[in-house]
Each structure stands twice: as C-alpha cells, then as structure tokens.
Amino acid sequence: MIKEDCIFCKIANGQIPCNFVYETDEIVAFDDLNPQAPIHTLIIPKMHFETLEDINDIKLLGKLMLAVKEVAKIKNAKNGYRTIINTKKEAGQEVFHMHIHLLAGRPMLWPPG
Ligand code: AMP
Ligand code: ZN
C-alpha cells in the first residue's frame, strides 16, 4: 500500500526523482537530504508502514537488515557504521514511513543524543 501524502512513498515509487543507492522489488535506499555524517543513507520498504511497530512481516524485516549490509558494502563503510530506527515522536521520528538510517564515515559518539 502507498500513502498519497507520504514523501517516502513518493520517492520509493518514482513520483519524486531520486538516485537510488540500492533497489529490490520491496526495498529502496537513497541518501539523506540532510546528512549527519559523510555517509548517511536511508533504507526503506517500498510499502507504507508508519513505524517499525507496524511491520510484523519477519521476512521483510530480515530483508531490510540484509539491505543495510548491502548498502554498507556499496558505500564502502568498511570501518563501521551505525544503524538507527527512530520509532515514534519521542525517539525523534519525523517522517512517518519506516526507515533505517545508516551512518558512517566518522567516529560515532555514545550515548546518542
Ligand atoms: P527521522 O527523524 O528518523 O524520521 O528521519 C527522517 C530523515 O529523512 C531525516 O534525516 C531527513 O533529513 C530525511 N529526509 C526528509 N525528507 C527527505 C527527502 N526528500 N529525501 C531524503 N531524505 C529526506
Ligand atoms: Zn509512505
């Protein structure tokens, strides 16, 4: 399902032009508009799910995690990378189409803000 007013649905389904870093029939990855690290790519399902809480398909969840590893390879994040899934408002989610952030290319701090 695609949600009409969802920016990531529009990107995933070609209504907004975007260079995909990675694409399968169910998943796409593209660079974040406002990168927080030298490498900052978003991995998303093409289908609309508001948050991680709304995905119960373990195959899709597995494919998303495998996609993270593929994107890390494509981006040559060989020294390591951080993955983040902001889930709901308090966690900082701003775009309500589930996405995984992949950040790399600089040392990461812990704990995160
Ligand atoms: P979150 O706060 O986890 O919901 O992250 C949303 C992310 O989407 C932010 O890092 C934004 O910079 C990014 N973003 C918003 N609109 C776009 C867009 N059109 N293309 C690429 N990234 C976007
Ligand atoms: Zn969507």
Q: Which residue, by CA, sits nearest to atom 18 of ligand 1?
A: 33
Concatenated DSSP letters of the chain = ---TT-HHHHHHTTSS---EEEE-SSEEEEE-SS-SSSEEEEEEESS--SSGGG---HHHHHHHHHHHHHHHHHTT-TT--EEE---SGGGT--S-S--EEEEESSPPPSS--
Q: What is the mean pLDDT of residues 41-51?
A: 98
Q: Is 99 a catalytic residue?
A: yes
Distance 68 CA to ligand 2 centre (A): 19
Among the listed residues 40, 97, 99, 101, the single catalytic one is 99
Sorting pLDDT into bands at 50, 70 and 90, what band is 113?
confident
User: In degrees rounded to 5, what are phi and psi of residue 101?
Assistant: -85, 135
> Measured in angstroms, how far is the CA atom of residue 100 from the centroid of ligand 1?
10
Enumerate residues lining ligand 1, CB below 6 A: 7, 32-34, 42, 86, 92-95
Testing ligand 1's pocket by substitution, the residue of 33, 39, 101 carrying the most ligand atoms inside 8 A of its CB is 33
* Mean pLDDT for the stretch of residues 55-72: 98
For 5-16, the pLDDT digits (tens) are 999 999 999 999
pLDDT recorded at residue 91: 98
Confidence class of residue 1 from pLDDT cuts 50, 70 and 90? confident
Residue 32 has pLDDT above 90, yes or no: yes
Share of the chain above pLDDT 70, in %: 100
Is 45 a residue whose pLDDT tops 90? yes
